[in-house]
Amino acid sequence: MSESWIVGINPVEGALSNDAERVRELVAENGQRNPRVHELVERAKALKITVNHRPREQLDKLAGEARHQGVAALYEAPPMAHESDLAALMERDGGETLVLVLDGVTDPHNLGACLRSAAAAKVTAVIVPKDRAVGLTPVVRRASAGGADRVPLVAVTNLARTLRELKDAGVWITGLAGDTDTSIYGVDFKGPVALVLGGEGEGIRRLTRELCDFVAKIPMPGTMESLNVSVATGVVLFEALRQRSVKR
């Protein structure tokens, strides 16, 4: 377990609403008049969470470069899921298994945004390689808006091996890349599926791509050549959900 400070009204509210038992302390700025901050203080007290009031300078120090808006919460993060948990997660979801694989996303804001989309899409698990990912930092948690604690994040030692294990388990793998004629709208995302997106700039690695059953792109008729990885994640996840919602 590791503790970190969650700062800002919405992130703190999310922690109290979704994972209050892991909130160890709430700190509010002295003289804070924002009614939403007062509401969070009262909620924390009702939940028997320690509440302290501190000078703005102390909250500035806790928040670093982030905007704290007069409130912060000390949060005990749950442990990341282990790669040995993947089989049970896929067995739980069965034919509805939807796995997101992020091959080298190192920007914490991007990872957080991807986790937020994954949680909204009720993804089975998000898989990242241990040596090419940013991990669950406070910035990632803030950017995920609570998503980091609602979807299992699994850091694997060998991504290629994990992809082979997914294939052996009957999961069809689609990687996203711009240099293909296949559109994501032409790929069947029903059934057990894994979606693979690459990191900022480089995209998916060669070996990762070779292990994909399909490689597809998001059609972009405009002048931009690519989308931010978190935007692309949202697009392809919800295309998969759209297809799954259509009656067969």
* Tens digit of each residue's pLDDT (9 = 90 or more) over 48-59: 999 999 999 999
Model confidence at 144, in pLDDT bands (50, 70, 90)? confident
Can you tell me which residue has the tokens 């009262």? 42
What residues have CB less than 8 Å from 223, skipping those under 6 apart? none
Instruction: Give the pLDDT of residue 178.
Output: 85
Q: What is the mean pLDDT of residues 182-209?
A: 92
Residue-averaged pLDDT of the chain:
89
Q: What is the mean pLDDT of residues 57-73?
A: 90
Output the known binding site for S-adenosyl-L-methionine: 198, 218, 227
Instruction: Give the pLDDT of residue 20.
Output: 87
Model confidence at 226, in pLDDT bands (50, 70, 90)? confident
Read off the tokens for 17: 């609403």
Instruction: Give the pLDDT of residue 223.
Output: 64
Task: Give the separation between CA 81 and CA 83, rounded to whole angstroms.
Answer: 7
Model confidence at 11, in pLDDT bands (50, 70, 90)? confident
Model confidence at 145, in pLDDT bands (50, 70, 90)? low
Instruction: Give the pLDDT of residue 126.
Output: 95
What residues have CB less than 8 Å from 157, skipping those under 6 apart? 83, 129, 130
67-to-11, 107, 113, 235 alpha-carbon distances in Å:
11, 19, 17, 28
Output the known binding site: 198, 218, 227
Task: Give the separation between CA 117 and CA 222, rounded to whole angstroms.
Answer: 24
Q: Say whether pLDDT at 26 is over 80.
A: yes
Amino acid found at 220: M
Predicted structure pTM score = 0.77
Model confidence at 90, in pLDDT bands (50, 70, 90)? very high
CB of 34 closer than 8 Å to CB of 42: no
Read off the tokens for 163: 């992809």
Q: Say whether pLDDT at 225 is over 70.
A: no
CB of 235 closer than 8 Å to CB of 196: no
Model confidence at 203, in pLDDT bands (50, 70, 90)? confident
Q: Say whether pLDDT at 15 is over 80.
A: yes
Model confidence at 80, in pLDDT bands (50, 70, 90)? confident
Q: For residue 129, report the phi and psi dihedrals to the nearest 5 degrees.
A: -80, 140
Specify which of 16-20, 136-140, 181-185 reaches the highest per-range mean pLDDT.
Answer: 181-185
Q: How far is CA 223 from the centre of its chain?
A: 28
List beta partners, residue 73. Answer: 6, 26
Q: Say whether pLDDT at 224 is over 70.
A: no
Amino acid found at 116: R
Domain architecture of the chain: domains with CATH:
2-77 (3.30.1330.30), 83-245 (3.40.1280.10)
Residue percentage of the chain with pLDDT more than 90: 60
Model confidence at 165, in pLDDT bands (50, 70, 90)? very high
Task: Give the separation between CA 76 and CA 86, rounded to whole angstroms.
Answer: 23
